[in-house]
Amino acid sequence: MTFEATFGRPFSPTFQPLSGGKDVAKFYCTTTGGETLTISALTVSAQVTVDWGDGSTNDYTGSGTRTHIYSGAGTFTIKISNPLNITALTLSDNKVTLNSADIAGMLNITSARFYLLKAGTFDSADVSAWRPTTFLPVLNAYRLCRNI
């Protein structure tokens, strides 16, 4: 399993038991209108529905890049149903706010990559049930970028 996150600032991971599951994974997108949100990679083991937060939904199976165009400005809550079906998720969009508590239910994830996001909070306790084999803390990514 691979886990990487970049929010442009360091964090110190802590590990605590995960409490409870979630029936959706969600994150937020803030647009000025006429902008496209890109989920760089979404791989699922069975169908999921993405509710784009503006009244539009799409059903997805398999893997691929997923995009949605927002006609109006605002902050939208994107919800992905059946988070146990999500096996890979990559978000690299500066319109996205991601909080670890909102993706905790993705217990079968094998690859999670989050880069160059607008904002968010991350507490490794929220995703401790993921059992990653590789964990790249933001602190390491931050130092790597700063030394270039």
Question: Given a cut of 60, is residue 146 above it in pLDDT?
Answer: no
Band of pLDDT at residue 11, cut at 50, 70 and 90: very low
Tell which wins on pLDDT, 146 or 64.
Answer: 64
Q: What is the mean predicted confidence (pLDDT) over 31-51? A: 93
Tell which wins on pLDDT, 102 or 16.
Answer: 102
pTM above 0.85, yes or no: no
Question: Given a cut of 50, is residue 54 above it in pLDDT?
Answer: yes
The residue ranges of every structural domain in the chain are: 20-122
The contacts of residue 127 (CB under 8 Å, 6+ apart) are: 3, 18, 100, 103, 104, 106, 112
pLDDT score recorded for residue 132: 54
Q: What is the mean predicted confidence (pLDDT) over 44-58? A: 95
Fold of 20-122: Immunoglobulin-like (2.60.40)
